Amino acid sequence: MWLELDQFLHYLKNERLYSDYTLEAYRNDLAQFIEFAERKNNDQTVEPEEVKTLLIRTFLGHLLKLGLQKRSITRKLSAIKSFFKYLFRNELIQVNPATIVSGPRLDRRLPVVLSMEQARQVMTLPPDDSFEGLRDRAILELLYGSGLRLGELLALTLEKVDFASELIRVMGKRQKERLLPLGTYARRALETYLTARESEIGRPKANSVVFVNSRGEALYPLAVQKMAKAYMQELSEQRGLSPHVLRHSFATHLLDNGADLFAVKELLGHESLSTTQIYTHVSMERLKDVYRQAHPRAGNVKKNEGEGNPEE
């Protein structure tokens, strides 16, 4: 394995403040590329300065043949580009072979969102007579009511929750902290859960994570993913249901109700406005659906057939 790879990962961790999850993804993607390069070189070591543009393109073609999704291929290319850009900037290579390489064209996919009625109903599904049910309800309310990422929710500690001001302080990507509103429903659900938690496992410390299991242990992401998906599947047949759908719904419903795009960007913790703008497309598609279903001139020809002169 290249020594330069360890240097690059160290840079991402200590200077770019990437999360452990992101670092592991970079390591795996680049290790796969290095392994491919060495196979192409008769299982002989290939140094970074020996990598040519054609080799990177051949690797992408190999991934396509394997049936990898375009988004996964694009992510791997992004890791390769970042790595060689780092090497070039630090004068570890003379030429950047990845500069002119482009990935497969991606089809625009709109985020999966719940309707406002579905979002309202999903909050009522966890039982309110058990510790786990009250915890799950508080989780769903926070994901939808404040637009948290799953990682932000699981890292949230009690000292970061201000019930008096109805605000929570979360640590986002690249260790950037932001304040988020704690809505009335989320606050009530959280207070009820914390009361049940104290009865179940005792008074927690201020620096304890908010959401735990019945043994007081921090929750794993997979457990929350399964829980949220199970409840949403009771109301929606859409594919791709996950805790992030509640974050998508949070942003979309804000825009549906007239929120400013820049304000939504800040609430979501996005670095670029272009990332937030995808939700304007979601809102527009929803408006189009309402129009098609409700307006007599929207193209529902069969509905209006035989109803007389349209000019009348």
Task: Write down the domain spans for the chain.
Answer: 3-89, 116-293
Classify residue 106 by its DSSP letter.
Answer: P
pLDDT at 1: 58
Closest CA to 266 of 258, 275, 253: 275
Active site residue 149: yes
Which parts of the chain register pLDDT below 70? 1, 106-108, 285-291, 294-312
pLDDT at 213: 95
Active site residue 247: yes
Ranges of H-type helices in the chain: 3-14, 20-40, 53-65, 70-89, 116-122, 131-146, 150-155, 184-201, 221-233, 243-256, 261-268, 273-276, 278-294, 301-304
Both structure tokens of 121: 């109903």
Q: Tens of pLDDT along 257-293?
A: 888 989 999 999 998 888 888 888 777 766 666 667 7
Active site residue 231: no
Active site residue 279: yes
**From 13, 173, 178, 286, the catalytic residue:** 173
Any idea which architecture 3-89 has in CATH? Orthogonal Bundle (1.10)
**From 247, 248, 253, 265, the catalytic residue:** 247
**From 149, 178, 229, 286, the catalytic residue:** 149
- DSSP character string of 200-265: HH-PPPTTSBS-B-TTSPBPPHHHHHHHHHHHHHTT---SS-SHHHHHHHHHHHHHHTT--HHHHH
CA angle 144, 145, 146 (to 5 degrees): 95
**From 75, 85, 188, 244, the catalytic residue:** 244
Domain pair 3-89 / 116-293, same fold: no
CA dist list (Å): 104 to 11, 107, 197: 28, 10, 49
Q: pTM here?
A: 0.65
The neighbouring-strand residues paired with 212 are 218
- CA–CA distance, 85 with 11 (Å, rounded to integer): 12
Q: Tens of pLDDT along 125-158?
A: 999 999 999 999 999 999 999 999 999 999 999 9
Any idea which architecture 116-293 has in CATH? Orthogonal Bundle (1.10)
pLDDT at 308: 42
Active site residue 173: yes
